[in-house]
Structure 1
Amino acid sequence: MRLRHSLIPLLAAGMLSACAVNLPAPTAAQLDPNANEWQASSPVAAKLAEQAQWWQAWQDPVLLQLQTAAQQDNPTLQLAAARIREARAKAYSAKAYLWPTLSGSASGTRAKNELMSPASVNNSGSVGLDASWEIDLWGGVRAAEQGLLANLAARTTEWHDARASMAAEVANAYVTYRAYQVMRQIVQQDLQSRERSWQLTQDKARVGLSSPVDVALLDASVAEGQAQLFEMQDGEAVAIKALVALTGLEESEVRVLLAQGEAALPAPTGFQVASLPAEVISQRPDIRIAAEQVKGAAADVGVAKVARLPSLSLFGAISVGEVRSGGSTTVSGTSWSFGPTLKLPIFNAGRLKSDQDAAEARYDQALANYQQLVRQAVREVEENMVRLDGAAKRVSATQRAVAGYQRQLDSGEAMWKAGAASLLDLEVSRRLLLGTQTRLISLQREQLAQWVALYKAVGGEWPLAAGEAQP
């Protein structure tokens, strides 16, 4: 399967190279997601786009501006970038252990001893150069370097994942705002209709053509419509607060941007999901991070194994010194030393063996975590496709329901004005229509949210801008 071709090199290529110790490596069977094809139906959309350019395919300039602002200044992305820099510095420091280390020293003292006669002032000074080199006999340093490079790759993947997650959050907040905005307009129109009916009923009641019960009913209906309007306004305000927090823009700037766009939900734009689960799974950031963690755990096993083996170090030192007493040189000369040091662990009460066992257990944990994430990833994609299919069907059915209730209300209003229908029947029709209209908007918002969730589930990524590089 393609998963084996794409992830086995990722997990195993560096494990066996440049290391004298054998490092554990997963087998193809352990990497297999045990899913040869999707069981759920592929989602259907009126418009399809390439996944890499999905956000641009929404054709919503306001959303893109909000997305860009969120990508430029966000603490979450800054934290991920700082972790990359830390991991890169650690990976670079590991390479230094493959080379000798040199250190210089210089010292000088001036002393006077009046206990001896005659008293004299002694001056002494020395300069020295020390060198040491621990030879990487068994590949322990290279194993440690491999682990740090795996950590760097994981942190880099986290940064890309954070960008995609941020884009998804901004999109969901934006869609929520537009949904509440559309529902507010529907509620406002409905409230205006209720107020007109209420005023008309009051006029009828004054001349005895309508009962106080009808007036009370419409008064309650108007109050209910006002409460619903306040609810929609609150939803808009909360969504704006979310966009402010995500983008880092001032609230006034966000409101100006939102006012530039159309008060409507974006049209659902879909993308094709790869037919093979293995192709999708290998794209997900959490799977790639877990793969790097397996590599890092394998490297830790190598380091633990090397700790139980002999180590060889070379040391050398050169020192030049001089001692003056009473203005004349008493001692002057050069000293040097050079030689190897061989260390062999003989007795440590089983500590090093326990450390190796612990490292091997951590490797098994990392591999089991990888396998669990693969299964969870397949499940998430399947569930999102099922929800999208169901959302599309519910939206279609609800649209028919809205059209039917609208015709019923129009007919009911005409009959009520002609005196052929009761006010209670009219209010029932009105509430049915309003409830179905708001439910339709909620379903359309849910449909867009499910597309965003599927985008994340298949490893979606916010594309790098032209000339932009990762931290």
Structure 2
Amino acid sequence: MWIALHRPRIRRHAQAAALALAGLLAGCAAPRPEPPALEATWPAVWQAPLPHGGDPARLAGWWREAGDEALSALIDAALAGSPTLAAAEARVAQARAQAQSARAGLLPQLGVAASASRGNGGSVGTTAPGVDLPVVTTLQAGAQASWEIDLFGRQRALVEAAQARTDGARALAQLARVSLAADVADTYYGLRLCQALLDTTTQDAASRAETARLAAISQGAGFTAPATAALADASAADARARTAQQRAACDAQRKVLVALTGLPEPDLMQKMAPAPASQAPAALFSIVEMPADTLRQRPDVWAAEREVLAARAEVGAADVARWPALSLAGSIGALRLRAGGVSQDFSIWSFGPLQLSLPLFDGGRIAAGQAAARGRYDEAVANYQAKVRQAVQEVETALVQGAAARERTPDARAAVAGYRRQFAATEAMYRQGMASLPQLEEARRNLLAAETGLLQAEHDARAAGVQLYRAAGGGWAH
């Protein structure tokens, strides 16, 4: 049920009543819910050890400071032509358009219309039989305006919500860029690790093949038992199979990098042909000690906070729906009548109606809208808190993984040096007949495991740095 005032002669009384009722209801308006404080969810300090060594590098564009030209070229190529980024920018454009549409609701609406008609000027039964009726031509043009006056701020709340979602869309577009750069770096370092492991397995396979060749010669001379020669052949075959498997893994990793960067595979292989720069991974990444400074850089946390503010504004808009609405309309135009060769021009205008409407009974529609808006707000708050917890967990995990990798790298390097000396001595003894083939194979296995462990530790340090870049939001400043 709606109460409406339409008569122009009482518009002054209606305006006064609307303003009085607006002031009364504004004093009774329920306040919007306050968004939760972000700082309440943060830890006071990071529990995991912070990276150290070297000057702190900026998280934004860290790949340029890493000194690896191949990595920089691949990330630049990915950022320049990614369909994912194009889709994210399109979502930003949509959000901006929706915000502009919401702002348009605050302004009067103006339109123009024109019409023309021609017909018999009389009506049935008004003229005598045989009398010709005059032909009347009517031409009319004018402008019409309407304005819903935003008494209680409903439209302003919708504008606020739309603007918050625009900011959130911008943040998510930045998140797409951060994620893409991190994905390329992860895959790049994974491919470099795969290539290093392939070199190691290739060298190991060549060494085992040489041992098998010497064992076959020794068996032919009667100095080596057939079982020993068979062991050498089996070891060589196992190394060849491992090398083929590693090569296939590198090929698959390369395909992933091709898809991420959009580069043709020959171009990608050409960019990766130079050896990567040798730089301590620990010096490439650093974050500040204050969690607030780090978490504010995360685009997903920023976007979640914007969604809380948007939902909060929509709660206010839903509450305003139960208050009076005031609208005003008007028009101005020109009218020309032509009949029997005579023309007459008129100017026409109208102001009003000034209409005040107040919902009294709507079957619970407004109350349901309020409940739905508050439900969306509660959901946005919960999602926001979950994003903050996820941010803390990801940063802590990256710090722990980076610290562990840096801690074990010196020991892994020492283990490789020791096992390499042992293998060289055992191989020399084997050639002189002072060590058995099983002893040589055990020394070889130890060296291979140590070299693999060192390569993995160095890769884990770089990967943890990339994860820290991703977890800290890529150095984005809103």
Letter of the structure 1 residue corresponding to residue 394 of structure 2: E
CA contact (8 A) 1:168 1:452 kept: yes
Is 1:25 paired with 2:38? no
For 2:361, what is the secondary structure of its paired residue? coil
| Alpha-carbon distance in 2 for matches of 1:169, 1:27 | 32
| Alpha-carbon distance in 1 for matches of 2:346, 2:56 | 83
| Alpha-carbon distance in 1 for matches of 2:156, 2:248 | 58
Deviation of 1:34 after TM superposition, in Å, equals: 4.8
Partner residue of 1:336 out of 336, 349, 355: 349
Is 1:50 paired with 2:63? no
Deviation of 1:296 after TM superposition, in Å, equals: 0.3
Q: Taking structure 1 as reference, are residues 142 and 247 closer, same or farther at Cα in structure 2, changes over 3 Å only? A: same
Map 1:449-464 onto structure 2 (within 5 A). Answer: 449-461=463-475
User: 2:91 matched to which residue of 1?
Assistant: 83
Residues 146-205 of structure 1: per-residue CA shift (max 9 Å, x gap): 101101100111111111111101111111111111111111111111111111111112
User: 1:170 matched to which residue of 2?
Assistant: 184
CA contact (8 A) 1:161 1:461 kept: no
User: 1:92 matched to which residue of 2?
Assistant: 100
Map 1:98-137 onto structure 2 (within 5 A). Answer: 98-111=106-119, 117=130, 118=132, 121-137=135-151
Q: Taking structure 1 as reference, are residues 349 and 278 closer, same or farther at Cα in structure 2, changes over 3 Å only? A: same
User: 1:350 matched to which residue of 2?
Assistant: 364
User: 2:242 matched to which residue of 1?
Assistant: 228
For 2:41, what is the secondary structure of its paired residue? coil
How many pairs were matched up? 442
Is 1:362 paired with 2:376? yes
| Alpha-carbon distance in 1 for matches of 2:249, 2:90 | 35
Is 1:425 paired with 2:439? yes
Letter of the structure 2 residue corresponding to residue 262 of structure 1: A
Q: Percent identity?
A: 39
Map 1:44-443 onto structure 2 (within 5 A). Answer: 44-45=52-53, 48-111=56-119, 117=130, 118=132, 121-259=135-273, 261-262=274-275, 267-268=280-281, 269-329=283-343, 333-339=346-352, 340-443=354-457
| Alpha-carbon distance in 2 for matches of 1:263, 1:202 | 40
For 1:344, what is the secondary structure of its paired residue? strand
CA contact (8 A) 2:157 2:314 kept: yes
| Alpha-carbon distance in 2 for matches of 1:129, 1:51 | 57
User: 2:14 matched to which residue of 1?
Assistant: none
For 2:79, what is the secondary structure of its paired residue? helix
Letter of the structure 2 residue corresponding to residue 146 of structure 1: E
**Please, which moves more after superposition, 397-406 or 100-109?**
397-406
For 1:32, what is the secondary structure of its paired residue? helix
CA contact (8 A) 2:42 2:292 kept: no
TM-score with structure 1 length normalisation?
0.88
For 1:343, what is the secondary structure of its paired residue? strand
Deviation of 1:462 after TM superposition, in Å, equals: 7.3
Letter of the structure 2 residue corresponding to residue 279 of structure 1: D
Q: Taking structure 1 as reference, are residues 194 and 263 closer, same or farther at Cα in structure 2, changes over 3 Å only? A: farther
Letter of the structure 1 residue corresponding to residue 409 of structure 2: V
CA contact (8 A) 1:98 1:136 kept: yes
| Alpha-carbon distance in 1 for matches of 2:108, 2:56 | 58
Deviation of 1:264 after TM superposition, in Å, equals: 7.2
Q: Taking structure 1 as reference, are residues 237 and 47 closer, same or farther at Cα in structure 2, changes over 3 Å only? A: farther
Letter of the structure 2 residue corresponding to residue 93 of structure 1: S
**Please, which moves more after superposition, 208-217 or 81-90?**
208-217
| Alpha-carbon distance in 2 for matches of 1:216, 1:180 | 30
Partner residue of 2:46 out of 38, 41, 52: 38
Deviation of 1:317 after TM superposition, in Å, equals: 1.5
Instruction: Provide structure 1 residue ranges, at least 5 long, that are not aligned to the other structure.
Output: 1-19, 464-469
